[in-house]
């Protein structure tokens, strides 16, 4: 989460980083159960055979592959990302992988029964414009599901070096066009776009040091060590202390809030 990269997208957690796959795998472990529940045919939006779905910001590809299993051979899943190196669709006939900048390239209009994006729009300065693009790409009756992070639990509950680390991390993120509080606006934004059946839920988890969630926060700090220290707000020894504390199983930490919001394009 550093100043906006040269590609202008604002997204700074580069998949080219040497440990990026581990960070994505940890994020999948933490968030995939909630995401798949929200989409499922039993408890969620009803994804099923024959659906055409778009996974925008596919990351490690776990949700795209899950969707392929739900829509079956008559369905289709399009996985889009700036860097698709971790999205392997070679064994799936119903998965199309596109390496594109969705902000500039967009999506075909009126094409999808479901569009999903997770922890993506918060990074992008053009998030409002992209929201309109995603809605326009829905078929009549199609669903949009967005899941974005809001950091208020950390600043409301955390203390010590963990809080100091996040204060230093989010400074360059905001300077680069990221939004730390935008997620809480999602339900209202979907209403503004006249989607039907708009609903939302917010989940906040505290986590133990050494857990998958702690490892995710730790590896994220490590990936952004350079931008964090370059701002001069946090001394390196303080950052190192925060990382050490995240490994301690007797410590508990508040995580980010994940705001999920969904709505349906008018049939």
CATH for 20-264 (3.40.50.150, 1.10.3720.10, 3.50.50.60, 1.10.357.10):
3.40.50.150
Give tens-digit pLDDT for 96-119.
999 999 999 989 999 999 999 999
Would you say residue 11 has pLDDT above 80? no
Instruction: Provide the residue ranges of all domains of the chain, joining segments of one domain with +.
Output: 20-264
DSSP single-letter state for residue 184 = G
Worst-scoring range by mean pLDDT, 94-103, 158-167, 225-234, 238-247?
A: 225-234
Please give the helix or strand (H or E) that residue 96 lies within, else none. strand 95-99
Computed from CA positions of residues 83, 28, 96, 178, in that sequence, does the dihedral angle turn out positive or negative? negative
Report how far residue 164's alpha carbon sits from residue 159's, in angstroms, rounded to the nearest whole number: 8
Residue 7 is predicted with a pLDDT of 38
Cβ burial 154-177 (10 Å sphere, 16+ → b, else e): beeebeebbbbbbbbbbbbbeebb
**Surface-to-core class of residue 92, CB atoms within 10 Å of its CB (0-12 exposed, 13-18 middle, 19+ buried):** middle
What mean pLDDT, rounded, does the chain reach?
91
Average pLDDT over residues 160-188: 89
Give tens-digit pLDDT for 46-65.
999 999 999 999 999 999 99
Phi-psi region of 158 (alpha: psi -120 to 50; beta: other; left: phi over 0): beta
């Amino acid at each position: 989460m550093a100043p906006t990269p040269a590609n202008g997208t604002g997204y700074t957690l580069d998949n080219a980083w040497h440990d990026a796959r581990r960070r994505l795998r940890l994020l999948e472990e933490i968030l995939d159960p909630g995401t798949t529940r929200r989409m499922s045919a039993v408890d969620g939006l009803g994804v099923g055979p024959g659906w055409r779905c778009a996974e925008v910001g596919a990351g490690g590809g776990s949700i795209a592959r899950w969707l392929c299993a739900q829509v079956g051979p008559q369905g289709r899943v399009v996985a889009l990302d700036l860097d698709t190196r971790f999205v392997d669709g070679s064994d799936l006939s119903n998965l199309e992988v596109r390496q594109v900048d969705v902000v500039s390239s967009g999506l075909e209009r009126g094409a999808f029964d479901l569009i999903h994006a997770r922890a993506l729009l918060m990074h992008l300065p053009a998030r409002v414009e992209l929201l309109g693009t995603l809605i326009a790409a829905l078929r009549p009756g199609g669903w949009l599901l967005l899941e974005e992070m809001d950091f208020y639990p950390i600043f409301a509950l955390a203390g010590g070096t963990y809080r100091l680390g996040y204060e230093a991390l989010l400074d360059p993120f905001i300077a680069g066009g990221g939004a730390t509080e935008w997620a809480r606006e999602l339900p209202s934004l979907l209403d503004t776009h006249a989607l039907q059946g708009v609903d939302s839920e917010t989940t906040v988890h505290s986590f133990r040091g050494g857990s998958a969630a702690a490892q995710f926060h730790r590896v994220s700090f490590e990936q952004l060590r350079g931008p964090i220290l370059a701002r001069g707000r946090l001394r390196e020894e303080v950052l190192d202390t925060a990382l050490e504390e995240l490994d301690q199983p007797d410590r508990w930490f508040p995580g980010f809030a994940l705001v999920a919001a969904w709505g349906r394009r008018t049939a």
